[in-house]
Each structure stands twice: as structure tokens, then as C-alpha cells.
Structure 1
Amino acid sequence: MSRAWVRRIQSKRVEESGVEVLAGAGEIWCDCPEVNVQITGGSYTLTKQLETGSNLIYSCPEGYYPYPELKRVCQRGGTWDRAPRKMSNQRCRLVECPDPAVLKEGSVSPSEERYYVGNETTYDCYSGYAFRGSYRRVCLPNGKWSGNTPICSRDSGNNCHDPGIPAGASRSGNIFDIDDKVTYSCDGNQLFLVGSKERVCQENGHWTGIEPACYYKHTFDTPLEVSQAFGSAIKETLTTSQPIGDDTQEGRILRISKNGTLNIYIAVDISESITEEEVDSAKDAVIALIKKIASFTVTPNYEVVFFSSEITEVVKILDFMEGKIVLEKAVEAIREFKKEGLDSIGTNLKQVFETFLERMAIIKERVKEEAFKDHRHVLIVFTDGAYNMGGVPTPSVEQIKKMVYMNQAVDTAEQKTNPREEYLDIYIFGIGAVIFDEDLLPLRTGTGGQHFFRMDDIKNLQHTFDSIIDESEVLGLCGLHMAFDPKMKDRKEVKRKMYPWFAFIKITRENTASNCMGSLVSGEFILTAAHCLPFGVTPNDITVDIDDGLGKVKRVKNFFVHPNYNISAKVGQKVEEFYDYDVALIQLEEGVVISKSVRPICIPCTKETNDALQLVGDSNSCDRQEEILFKDSREGLNFLTKTENMVDEKDVYAKLGPNREDCIKHAVNSNVAVTDNFLCTGGLDGHRDHIACKGDSGGAVFKNFEHRTIQVAVVSWGTKDLCSGGGLVESDATSRDFHINLFKVAPFLKKVLGNEDQFDFVPLKFLDLKG
């Protein structure tokens, strides 16, 4: 109930003790005093000033947390819950980590009563015991220990390794053979368990679940930890990663392949206890995740709701299934959602899960039970868990499990989980100043990795979602790249992952050297300009610089220049250098190692580019790709230039349709020199384009679609040399650049890259081309 609404129903207004009081319906509301609420060493904010329902939220510098309260709420009677007292001043307290002295067959040094942020510990095993884990650990600002759990064990004759005991925990169970169990609990009443309370030794030598940890109320997961642990359960797209390091951890990450039916349900808490800034950060994280998934060929159905006492359905999953909404509109709806004006007093978390359950039931009704078996469901909820309406949400979660699991029983001793458990994952992101962990932990579910996260600050979470996708199974997909991450300090690493397809080409002969750019279009081929490989050049004269971890400089096996390229073809028509069909392909002696830092760009008229553009089936022609990529008369494009930052991105607009003629007229003898095979950029019309420099020749002119990049042209020639030292140089009014349109030379690309009559490389799959 909002305060404005209460004002409308009041029967009278009275004054008491000089304070405005609202009276009526048997209750009195008034403002809270701003007395004794200050915090030593920190600060506080008020969500609604001193009005009833306002949250007073404390904050402290890194490595400290508010004590004794994390926040207070102004109650109807004009008092703060857990009222501040003069004798117990609010202050910022040094972060404490759980007691690491849990080794049964080893020792911890130094031995302290309590361990605070910055404290270092070292570990040693007694004679006869082997050590695994981290010898040295540091108490971190988020209330966790660095490194891995130290373990002292003999591990002789056991099927599984000793799973260890996390800091602050106790363990029952010391036999580690097949089907043996270990159970964990946290010591004291200030710690709670996150992770698997019970783990079972499996026949494959691995433990079920994930290693648990003991958290304080001030413990939180960093965005990097979330990105490493966050996962999903999608058939053929999600697998359990091999254990890392000490075989005690089992991680799950989102693996995207080309097939799969996936339904994603997202809920964001907008109740009074969640600040507007936290809601905006959650929205950014949701959009970042959706965009990342959209860069692959999986096309999920989305349900997105915002909730407090009521549900606001912003994106409807049934509209997705009926084709009534496209992804761009869904993202726009999320971005435009505002908390303002909505009743945010009260939280009905149960209604969230009931709404998702209802949507699942309708989907099941529509697709029928047999098809519903192949649907994967991922639920992602951002909330502090402070539900006070609608009742406990746990029964609704159990109903969701019942529907997805289809009541399949577990009868065999070997099967430790429901055989359909991989079809459902529920992830809970705890946000807000106070998180009700004990209410949220029972709601998470799913096989494998961590499904509950405590977020101290989610403002940068969208940047880390780039890391949750394991691209190891889709390394061959063209055009994948990482978005800019401001936290990455290594400039070269940033650029390589942002533009993983770029290459530097060097031609050395007769004591002269020249440089060009190129783009990796498959594991074995670099696309560049034909004029970069002048007459007389041999493969031995060419090297390609592209660092795939096995050495930067790559030798060249062969190269192929477009058969129609002839730089002197129009000399008789007063065109000294004619660059039509200025395109070539360089074949490397050995294919590069594809990774997140080195991977091919998409090129027109291939089936992979169809996938990148989310065009379904072979019926989509090359013309359809061209319509999508060149849909405007001024099409924004980019190409790269070599700089001290390795490379930087230049912005240009291709002038198409009615704008083309005015663009190309600035070339000398343009009616001969500029054929239909060229795109024209440059000038000041509507945008001051960057201009190409000599070293930019052969580089990719590209267009981005979220996390996919499609090359549409090759940098060829220009009317003016405005570059003294290269770099980000801008056009003047008459400078123009011309780039070979790859759609016009697709038959040449197909003949070389799509050649199925050879065994040197895996050919690309091209669409049917005209002519």
C-alpha cells in the first residue's frame, strides 16, 4: 500500500506533538527521526527519505561491512525497526573470514581466534599425509579465502579423493568408496551453508554436487565468481565440465550448440527493499545475458517479469512461441521498464513461481506431452527473498519440479538424481542490502554447479556474462567475439578477443617490405586485398602475424588472387591503377588454433552467416543476407587500423542507393574507376567518416550483430592520402574510400573456400549463388 493511497482514505488529519500524523482505519503513520542513524566509517542512503516504508541502507569501504545492522526500515508508527541505540553505535566492521583451522590431519599457521581481511595463512600436513589445495591463502574483502580448500589425505584404496572440509565447516563421513556419503554443516550460528550439504562418491571417481562453503551475512560472490559458476541445463548444449585442479570441484557453464529447445524465465524484484539502482543493474544483466545467448544459433523463448506485491509481465513467453514478438522488441521492453509509479510495498515471490508454472502448463498443453519432454527450462530470479505476501514459494517450486520431471522415479542404486533433473535449473541471485538466505536456498535446483549467488554489487555483472558461455564446442562458429571489458588491463588481450579474426600481413622481397591487414575467414585462410600481393610475389615472401598461442608468425602455403584483377586493365582509359576485383585469399602452411582470441569472421553467402543472422534453412538466399546487411541508404560499417593499442576501430558509412552517385563522383574518372563492385565511404555528409590509411589495405569492412561480426567488404583504395602516421584519421569533404563488396565476389570465395574436391582443409558451406 503506497503512502499516497493512504492519504486518500484518511478520515481526518490531526497534529500531534508538532509532527504531521495520518490517522484513520485504526492506524497512525508518520516520519521516522534521523537520530542516531549515522554510521562511523561509512555512509547511508534513504530510499524514501524519512517516510514510512523507507529503507535506510548502510554502506562501508571495501573490506568492511555495516555492524550491527545492514539496513533499517521506517515503520508505520514512526520508528525504525531494530531501533538505533546510543550505547551500540552503528559502525563499519572489518570483514571476517570463516575459521580455516578444520584440517584433521594437518595444521594452520598462524593460529588465531578470528581471521580478518588481509590475514594470510599457510598449511602443512602431518607425516604420511599428502597435501592438495592451496598452501597459502588470504582472507579476501568478500569474506572468502583465496585459492582452493587445503586437504591432507592418504587417498589410498578409495574410489574418490578426500573431498576436504571447507573453512568454518564440519564433515561427517570419512570413507570415500562408491556410494559413500559425506555431509556438511557450518559451525556456530552466524554461518550458513551454500553448496551441497550432502555429496556421494560415484563410480567415475567424482563427487556429486559441488563443494560447499560457509558464508557470513557479509559474504558475497564476486561477478567473476558468478560468471565462472553460472550454468544451465540444456540438452546437447550443457555438459558437466571436467573437474578442475584438485577433483573436489565440479563446475557447470552454459554451452551453446546449434540445436535445442530452451525456455528461459526471468524475474526481477522491484519491491521497496530493492533500490532503483539495483533494479537497473539487474535489467542490464538480463539484457546482457539475452544478447549473449542471441549471438549463437539457439533461439530461446523468454518470459520476463518484474514483481513486488503484483507481477508485471514485460516479456511474454507465449508471444515468443506464437511469433508475436522478436528479440529486439523484448530487449527494448526490458530496457524501457520503469519501477516508478508501481506499488512496490510488499513482495509476493510465490506468485512469481506460480506464474512460471502456469506458463509451463500452457506450453505443455500446446506442444503436447511428448514434445514437452524435450523442453529445457531455466529460471533466473533476482531478489532479496524478503517475501511477505502470498505465502511460502517452496510448494510452487515443487509443483514446477513435478511438471518438468514428469514424476519419474529413481529405482536404481546407480542413479543418484532424477533422470529428468537436467531439464530444469533454478538460479537465485540474492540482491539487496539484506538477503534472506534461509528462505532462498531451498528454491534453487539443478544438476551440477552453483545455483545460488549472493551479490554485493551487481552493477558490473553484465560485463562478466561474456565469460559464462563456454565456446569450446562452437569454436568453428564464425564471427564470435568478446565485448569490451573495462576490467581487462592487458590491451593486447582485449583487442585480440574483441577482434579475434584480424591479421597483419607482411610482404618482404628485394630488401623492401610492405604491410597490409587481413581477416581470418577459416582456420586455414586469410582474406585480403589483391594489390597487397603484387605480381612476382611468392608464398615465401609472405608472412601472417596472428597469435594463436603457437607463435605469432605464420608461413604461407599458397595464395589465390581474383582472376579478374588486373591493376593496369584501364590504363588506356586514363585510369593508371584499376582496383576492380581487388581481393585475394592466403592459405596458411598450417591452420591456426581456434580459440576465444583467434577465430574466423563471418563472410557473405555462407550457411554460417545464415545462422549468425538467424535465418533458418537453406531456402534463404544470398540476396536475403544482402538485404539485411545493406538495408539502409547510409549503412554504418567499421574497419580496423594498426595503432599503438594494436588496433583501433574506424567508423564509416557506406553510401548506398540514392547516396552512392554523390559519393563516387569525387574519384578521378569515376565512371571507369568505380565499378558496381565497390562500396563508397568517406566525407562529411551526415557523419565525419574515418579515412583509410595505407596500412589498412586488405582489412575487413564489417558489421556487428551483438556478439557476431560479418565482413561485407575489403578495404581497397582511396582518393586522398590524409595519413601521415596512420591511426584514427578523419575524412575531409572530398576524400573517399572504396571497398570491394564481398557479395559481388562471392563466386570467387566459394570456388576457393568451398572447394570440396581437395583434402587440405574443411571447406565452408556456401549458399547457392546466381550465375
Structure 2
Amino acid sequence: MQELELLLYIVTLYTQQRYSKIQIPGGEGSRQTTGRRGNKMLPLILLSHIALSIAAPSPTVECDLDKIAIVGGEYTVSEGGNVSSKVEYTCPEGMYPYPALSRECQYNGRWTDEKLKAECKAILCPRPTMFDNGLFHPRKLRYGIGDVLHFECWGGFRMYGPETRTCQANGKWSGEVTICDDQEGYCPNPGIPIGASKVDISYKIESKVTYECGPGLTMYGSKERVCMENKRWSGAEPTCRFPYTYDTPEEVAQTFSASLSETVESSDPDKVEEDADRTIRVEKDGLMNIFIVIDASKSVGAKNFKTAKDISEVFIDKMASFDFSPRYAVISYASFAKPVVQLSDDDSAKADKVIERIKKYKYTEHEDKQGTNTRAALSEVHNMMSLEHVRNSTKFLLTRNVILLMTDGRHNMGGDPTVEVKRIRELLDIRKGNGREDFLDIYVFGLGNDISDNEINDIASKKDPEKHVFKMKNIDDMKEAFDKMLDDSEILQMCGISRDPGQLGVQEQLPWIAKISITRGSSEEKCKGSIVSRDFVLTAAHCFHLDEELHTINIRVGGKSFKAKQLYRHPKYNPAGKQDKKVEKSFDYDLALIELDKKIQFSRTIRPICLPCTSGASWALKQRGKSVTCSDHEKTLLPSDMERAKFVAEETTNALEWKDVFVKRGNWRLNCLEATKKIDKFKDTPDIKDLITDNFICTGGTEPQVDPPTCKGDSGGPLIVQYKQRFIQVGVISWGTINSCDGTKRKQDPVSPLSRDFHTDLFHMVDWLKEKVPELEFLA
């Protein structure tokens, strides 16, 4: 049947006259026939070769389903036991399927490893075989989850790395490699990963060390490392893994986070370089191409392919926030490679356009999904690079290139993919010792049970002290890693980032919210605020008395408490300043900044909001260049007389929630003024514009929807406009015309049509904010 399918495939190509050269995929190489005669004769030759098979088809081959049960675990089987059916095993936490994570029905009617009974065994961590210049204990034949190794160095040697390491649930030891070194070598002792042995102990310049993993273990990283002139070791630190060992989403996210931080910080001309992990580093005003390569073979399936697209979109959207504009190419592959976005496309540098094209691309667009031709995908990358080299050879050699490859299997056609990696390196002029390694980063994400550890390790880049190859249980784990990839990094100074509301706690959805309390004797005033930098929280001036003592102010962000170092009110805020105009209490310029007593450390639950008219907001809005103005931001965020916005309410303690409202501008704002004039306590105000100045944004009322009113305790909180996946604050909650609340709770009574809320308009406060928080880099 395979030959028949092959024949039909070739005949289809021939009859459509799509190629003058036909490549027959199969095995580790390929055969070609060229010219008119070859194209015409090949189908006839193959037809005669398999005519008897067609005339007398063989019976369907099936494997015995009674031979796949697993002791202590569960399994699923695809294709009902026919040839190519796959068995997937699962075991309880802390155990793994033995002798293999999966089995496949072969053409001889037998399952792979059929003679060995499947059972769940306890997860182990690799056993130390060598340790230089010191001792470790306890010495055991097996190390299970929770076991702890202790290390000691001999006299004259100093310990680098952890003194203890713990066996984790994924079969990996916690922490980094422990090393005992006397620092007498030209390069430092590179150490020995647990489970490996090392050959050669000379650490002179040009000296080599080689590693080998113990039985049953596979090596990730470099098998050979060389002591270089810069006193660092070439390649990547090796690790030894069992087949069931996976990287957790947290581990992957941490690596990417630290690396992406380097990308952002590289735009700072005063930055001092330090040795740190990075994924993608670009010098300021540098050039970058990013190639996203997605496996679309049959085993992936439509659902996982969509998740891979989602991951790509998340990555591109987050990269679009950095201070550079990479160009993208997106390639999907199965038996053949198919470009989704070409590097040479006019819109390849426009993140939103690239994302739009990824969304439209369907899994079904791959006609042949039987194979996994990784080499073809990397060959397509090489072809795109070659075209760029021809178009602009000068810029080409100054451009950094990043390849993200996602696959759920090993290649089974097209040949060795590392051949294309070598061709790409040659094209980029990356040679030993010529200092161009940073112009190529290949990250490989192996997903699931069918991955070849050696293959994905061989394809991935190897750089000290970085990690470019990851093996993950499934694509959902990879999506979780990418969702978390910004969590615990300095890069979190990027403003207006939130997490998926469906997955995490409210504080992670609203990481910029600050809770403010002011203690006055036996009473306590509560307000909200927003984190705008490491030092400042933005809030409303009316939350504080004019003679407020700093020690009475407490600020909580992300569960952490801060005190006020200084309180700055807008200099034009004067509650009694308009009493001669019959405005009993004026809220004009109702704005304050609290300078904290210590800097905020950003994390997954503590991040800054974007303020308009700042460079951070420009990147969030995808508006770049020196010509961008504050007015451009306003037109983007509030383009019409009726725009959706959000504020944050706390009707019960620690229960933050979004409230959706409409910002009223133009004629709708005039309605706000007219509604306010009809309220008894404001009827005597001669000019309502003395009460409601142009410094206020209006929300509330019952048209076009019933807007939830703000309540006591909401004051000082942000009024936010969401732009795609980013959040920009446009106002600060100030005052309302009608009290529709019992304390912090909104009444069940219908909201009055006259009810309006007013928020200090931050577009009108830029000059003062620029003066007080210059680190935000306000637009000129």
C-alpha cells in the first residue's frame, strides 16, 4: 500500500505539471528523475512494479490489543490497532511507563517492545559517577524523588554551585552543577554533570574535555568543550537525562525570561554587560530575523497545531513590545515545508499583520501529513536567508537570526536536518573562533513521547551558559511556558502586561493595582492606586488630608507592604479654591504620587501599568518613531465619542474585579454636564464647567448601557483602556455625582440616569507627571 500511495502522489504531480523535477521522499535520502522522458516513464515503471499488489491486496494487518496493558497505569490507543496505531501510556505522579512511553503497531503485526511487559516504575534521577576534587554523599545505586545529595570540597578547593541538590519529580536534580575548583587553570573547572563521566582534566587554553553519559541516559548540550582565549568553555554545559525526563514550564519560562531581559536591556547604551542567560539579544538599532517553524505532521493533529499557532502569536505579540522591530518568517512542515509568512514579504516586520496571517492559516492546508521532513523546513529557512543575502549582502551579515523550531517527532524523511544547520551556519559565515556565534540562535522545542533526544540536541545551538533545547511533555506545557516567559524577570518593567483571566488569580490579572490605607486614630481611609514605576504609585489627591503624616500611609502591592517616603499632590489641586464660584469642594487636578520607601521588585503579581504619552505606551500601541505624539496616543485609545474602558472594584475584601464602562466624549460628555446640573446639590453652581473642567473624563449613566458606578474605596484607582493584549491607564477615579453604594458595595437598586463618575484625565496631567517621574521617558 505504501508503494501505491507513492505512485498516486507522483502521478498527481505529473498530471498537474507542477514540477519538471520530481523528488521522491523516503528513508534518509531522496531520488530524483529529471527531464521529460523521466517524468513520463517513472509512473509506468512503478505501476508495473506494483500491479500484482493492486490486483491481489493483502489482508489488513492488526496488532493484538491484549498485549498492550500496563501494570499500575493507563493507556490510550489510536487507529484501533491497525498498522501505525499508537499506544500512549500514563502513570501516576512520580512514576513513568517502562520499557517505553509509547508503542506502535508495526507491519509485521507486532507492537514495538512487545515482548516486554509494560509497567509503571518509580522515577529516578541520574546517579553520580564522577566528582572532581571533593566528595558527595550518600552513595547509592538509586536516587528517587526527594533524595538529597551533599557535596564537599577538598582543602584548597572552593565550591561553586549548590552544596546540596534534590531529586525532582521530573527526574532532574535541582540547581546547577556543583564544582570544586582551585582557579589555577586558564579556564575554570567546567564540572561534571550528574550521570556523566569526563575525559581530560587539563584546563589550559585550547584544551578539550569530553563527556559521556551513563547507561540509559542521553546527553543534552555539548559532548566536547574547548577552553577558549576568553577563558570560557565553548559549547553548552551538558546534562544527562533519562528518556522520561522533561523540562517543566517553569524551567523553560525562567530561561526565556532572563534571556529576553537581556534583549530589552541591550537598548540601554549605559548598560554594563554581565554573564547571563539570554534567548534573543539585539544591540540597539540592530537587525533581526525570527523564523518560527511549526510541525504540522499527522501526529500533531488540528488541535495541537492551533495551540502551536497560539504560542507563535503570544511570542510575536510580546516581542513587538521591545525596542526593535524584527522581521518574521513562519514555516509549517510535514512531508514538505510550506511558508506561511515569507521573510521577504512587505509586512513581515509588522507583528499584527504576521499574527493575522498565522490565525488564517489552517492545518488542512498541508495536503500530505504522513511525513516529518525537518530538513525541508530548515532548507526553507536557508532559502529565505539566501534570498536576503543576494538582496542586501552588507546588512545580511549584520543581522541576527533566531529560529524557533517546534516538533512532536523525529524526522522520518528528507534526510539529516543537521545538514541544513551546517549550510545555514556557512551562509552566515559562522566559523570556529570568528566571533559570529551570536548571529544565529536555534531553539528546539521537542514535544511528547516520539522525540529523538539526540536529534533535537544536534539541531539546537550550543552556547555557554545558555540553553537552546527543551523537551516538554506536550504542547500545552509549552504554551504555559510561553505564557509565563515574562514572569520573574527585570523585563517586567514593560508596562500594561496582564495574564490570561481564565487561568490565574485576580492579582495576576491586575498586577498594577495598589491598595492604599491611611490610618487616622481609630478610623481608616481606603483608596486604590496604580504602579507606574519601581518607585511610584499614582492615586487621587483627595484620598489624603492636606496635612497628612507619611507614617499613616500604607501601600500594599502583590501582597507586599510599603511605606510612603514622600507624597506629592498636583500643585494645582485645591479643594477650597472655587468656593467663590459656589463649588463647595473642587476635585480639579485630583492627582497624587506616592514615592515608596523602597523599590518595587517586579514579578508575576507586581507589574506597572502603561501611562499615555510615554515610550512604554508607544510600544504597547505599536507606535514607534520620533514623530509619535501624545495626541497620537489619545486618538488611538479614545478615537470616538463613546469608548469602552475598565476600572477595578473591591466590593468585598481581597475580591478585586473588573467593571466595564463607557468613556463619554463630545456630545456624550455634554450630556454628563447636563445630567449633573439636574442634581439638587449642584443646581446652585452658576457654571457647571467650574465643577466639571476639561481635566475630567466622564463615565456612568444608563446609555448605551448601565455603567456600574464607582464606590468608596475605588478612589484613586485607574481608569483603563485595553489595546489588544496591553492595558493603558487614561484616568484616575476622582468623584461621582450620586452615591449608589453602601460603603464599598454597589446597591441593588436601579442606577439613576443622572449618575455620573469623573476621572482625572491623564492626558492633561503629562507635564506634572514628566517632572515627577522622568524615568518613564515621556514623549517630547
Amino acid at match of 1:191: L
Q: Deviations over 1:106-130 (max 9, x none)?
A: 5544433333444444445566665
Which residue of 513, 516, 525 maps to 1:514? 525
Q: Could you tell me which amino acid in structure 2 is paired with residue 303 of structure 1?
A: A
Amino acid at match of 1:628: T
Residues 1:66 and 2:87 are matched in the alignment: no
What is the rounded CA distance, in whole Å, between the counterparts of 1:485 and 1:185 in structure 2? 46
Q: Distance in 2 between matches of 1:630 and 1:27?
A: 69
Partner AA of 1:745 in structure 2 = H
Q: Distance in 2 between the 1:743 and 1:329 partners?
A: 30
From 170, 173, 178, the counterpart of 1:142: 170
Q: What TM-score, normalized by structure 1, do the two folds share? A: 0.81
1:441 matches 2:441 = no
Question: For residue 221 of structure 2, what is the amino acid of its counterpart?
Answer: G
1:5 Cα deviation from its structure 2 partner = 7.4
Deviation readout 1:556-610 (Å, 9 max, x if unpaired): 25432436x656737867x65554x343233638674564466643322334432
The aligned amino acid for 1:554 is: A
Partners of 2:516 and 2:158 in 1: CA distance: 52
Q: CA deviation at 1:167?
A: 1.7
Q: 1:476 to 1:222 in 2, by over 3 A?
A: closer
**Which AA in structure 1 matches 2:172?**
K
**Alignment map for 1:66-145 (pairs within 5 Å):** 66-75=97-106, 79-82=109-112, 84-85=114-115, 88-124=116-152, 131-145=159-173
The answer on 1:462 being equivalent to 2:479 is: yes
Give the percent of matched residue pairs that are identical in Structure 1 and Structure 2: 32
Counterparts of 2:323 and 2:251, CA distance in 1: 26
- Verify the 8 A CA contact 2:236 2:463 in the aligned structure 1: no
2:222, 2:113 → 1: CA distance? Answer: 37
Q: In the alignment, which residue of structure 2 is the partner of 1:431?
A: 447
Q: Structure 1's 578 and 451: CA in aligned 2 closer, same or farther, altered over 3 A? A: same
Aligned to 2:543: 532
- 389-398 vs 505-514, which deviates more? 505-514
Structure 2 CA distance, aligned partners of 1:126 and 1:26?
75
Deviation at 1:140, TM superposition (A): 2.3
Distance 1:511 1:220, change over 3 A: closer
Separation of aligned partners in 2, 1:559 and 1:743: 14
Cross-structure match for 1:218:
244
Q: How many residues align?
A: 717
Partner of 1:360: 385
Cα pair distance change 1:311/1:133, threshold 3 Å = same
The alpha-carbon distance between structure 1 residues 624 and 5, as it changes in their structure 2 partners (threshold 3 A), is: farther
Are the counterparts in 1 of residues 347 and 354 from structure 2 also a CA contact under 8 Å?
no
Distance 1:607 1:146, change over 3 A: closer
Decide whether the 8 Å contact of 1:37 with 1:90 is kept in 2: yes
| Contact 1:67 1:93 survives alignment (8 Å) | yes
Query: 2 CA distance for matches of 1:542 and 1:142?
Result: 48
Quote the Cα distance in structure 2 between the aligned partners of 1:744 and 1:315. 38
- Residue 266 of structure 1 is matched in structure 2 by 292
Distance (Å, rounded) in 1 between the aligned partners of 2:282 and 2:612: 23
Deviation at 1:435, TM superposition (A): 1.0
1:155 to 164, 182, 194: 182
1:754 matched residue in structure 2: 770
> Residue 358 and residue 557 in structure 1: after superposition, are their counterparts in 2 closer, same or farther (change >3 A)?
same
Task: For 1:271-282, list aligned pairs within 5 A.
Answer: 271-282=297-308
**For 1:92 and 1:471, how far apart are their aligned partners in 2?**
35
CA drift of 1:653 comes to: 3.0
**Structure 1 residues 436 and 690, CA, compared in 2 at 3 Å: closer, same or farther?**
same
Shift of 1:424: 0.6
Superposition pairs of residues 670-749 of structure 1, within 5 angstroms: 672=688, 674=692, 676-682=694-700, 689-705=707-723, 708-726=726-744, 732-734=750-752, 736-740=755-759, 742=761, 745-746=764-765, 749=766
Three-state SS of the structure 1 residue aligned to 2:764 is: helix
- Pick the aligned partner of 1:309 from 335, 347, 362: 335
Is contact 2:511-2:558 (8 Å) kept?
no
Contact 2:298 2:370 in 1 (8 A): yes
SS at 2:476 equivalent: coil
2:222 maps to 1:196: yes
In structure 2, distance between residues paired with 1:742 and 1:557: 20
Q: 1:702 deviation in Å?
A: 1.5
Q: Counterpart of 2:444 in structure 1: which amino acid? A: I
Q: Secondary structure at the match of 2:479?
A: helix
In 2, distance between residues paired with 1:680 and 1:3?
72
* Alignment partner of 2:76 out of 26, 38, 45: 45
SS in 1 for 2:569: strand
For 2:295 and 2:272, locate their aligned partners in 1 and report how far apart those are by CA, in whole Å.
Answer: 30
Change (3 A) 1:549 1:235: closer
Deviation of 1:171 (Å): 0.4
1:391-430 equivalences in 2 (<5 Å):
391-405=415-429, 417-430=433-446
- Give the 5 Å matches for 1:449-488: 449-465=466-482, 468-469=485-486, 479-483=495-499
> Is the Cα contact below 8 Å between 2:498 and 2:509 reproduced in 1?
yes
CA distance in 2, matches of 1:25, 1:76: 20
1:648-681 deviation line (CA, Å, top 9, x unaligned): 4333332455655666665453792555544333
Q: Partner letter of residue 730 of structure 2?
A: V
From 366, 384, 406, the counterpart of 1:382: 406
User: Residue in 1 aligned with 2:86?
Assistant: 55
- Residues 540-579 of structure 1: matches in 2 within 5 Å? 540=550, 543=553, 545=555, 552-556=562-566, 558-562=568-572, 569=578, 576-579=584-587
2:36 equivalent in structure 1: none
- Does the CA-based 8 Å contact 1:678-1:738 persist in structure 2? no
Question: How far off its partner does 1:355 sit?
Answer: 0.9
Letter in 2 for 1:610: S
> How far is the alpha carbon of 1:506 from its aligned partner?
4.6
Q: How far off its partner does 1:44 sit?
A: 2.4
Aligned-partner Cα distance in 1 for 2:748–2:335: 54
Q: Is the 8 A contact 1:688 1:730 kept in 2?
A: no
Give the CA deviation at 1:80: 4.3
Structure-2 separation of matches of 1:109 and 1:647:
50
Structure 2: distance between partners of 1:95 and 1:26? 49
Asked whether the equivalents of residues 676 and 737 of structure 2 are also in contact (C-alpha less than 8 Å), the reply is yes
Q: Is the 8 A contact 2:209 2:224 kept in 1?
A: yes
- Change in Cα spacing, 1:719 to 1:66, as seen in structure 2 (3 Å) is same
What is the CA–CA distance in structure 1 between the aligned matches of 2:503 and 2:149, rounded to whole Å? 28
Conservation of the 8 A alpha-carbon contact between 1:55 and 1:272: no
C-alpha separation between the residues in 1 aligned to 2:459 and 2:279?
Answer: 20
SS class of match (1:352): helix
Cα distance change on mapping 1:41 and 1:598 into 2, 3 Å: closer
Q: 3-state DSSP class of the match of 2:420?
A: helix
Tell me the residue number matched to 1:12: none
Q: What amino acid is aligned across from residue 112 of structure 2 in structure 1?
A: R
The correspondence of residues 582-661 of structure 1 with structure 2, limited to 5 A, is 582-586=589-593, 588=595, 592-593=599-600, 595-596=602-603, 600-631=608-639, 634-642=642-650, 644-645=653-654, 647-656=656-665
SS of 2:403 mapped into structure 1: strand
Q: Tell me how far apart the structure 1 counterparts of residues 56 and 273 of structure 2 sit (CA, whole Å).
A: 60
Q: TM-score, normalised by structure 2?
A: 0.80
1:125/1:131 contact within 8 Å kept: yes
Whether 1:32 and 2:62 are equivalent positions in the alignment is yes
Q: Which moved more, 1:618-627 or 1:116-125?
A: 116-125
Alignment of 1:489-504 (within 5 A): 495=507, 499-504=510-515
- Find the residue that maps to 1:314 and give its secondary structure: strand
Q: What SS does the aligned partner of 1:626 have?
A: helix
Q: d(CA) in 1 for partners of 2:348 and 2:204?
A: 54
